[in-house]
Amino acid sequence: MVEKEFEAPDWVKDGEDLRPMSIKQKRYFLAGLAVVIPFCMWAGWFEWQRAHDGHWRAWVYTFEWPFFAGVAIYMYRRFARGDRPQIPRPNLDELEKENDK
């Protein structure tokens, strides 16, 4: 069997600077936020009502859902600036040397 040399997929970046989101991408993200944020706030309110009805575990969810809305806003702002996580390209020479030892 012939071993094929490892080649990183196209979506792995070499530290290239990513540009901010386009207007179309921002619209899609904002449409998603328009759904996610009200849902998270409603879910937090719903759990608040359940917590007051005596469901002790609902207290955690009461604060968890608004936290998720905050995370959604944080991620939108991060992506809008072009600050997207990148997967580093592995140094194949070093990995080959480590495997040969």
Q: Note down the domain range covering 35.
A: 23-82
Q: Is 32 among the domain residues?
A: yes
Q: Is residue 100 part of a domain?
A: no
Asked if residue 93 belongs to a domain, the reply is no
Q: Is residue 28 part of a domain?
A: yes
pLDDT averaged per 10 residues, the chain (length 101):
63 62 89 96 96 92 96 91 73 77 67
Residue pair 13/84 in contact by the 8 Å Cβ criterion: no
Is 71 a member of any domain?
yes
Taking the C-alpha atoms of residue 8 and residue 94, their distance in angstroms, rounded to an integer, is 15
60 found inside a domain: yes
Nearest to 72 by CA among 24, 32, 27: 32
Count of domains observed in the chain: 1
Is 63 inside any structural domain? yes
Q: Give the tens place of pLDDT for each residue, 30-54.
A: 999 999 999 999 999 999 999 999 9
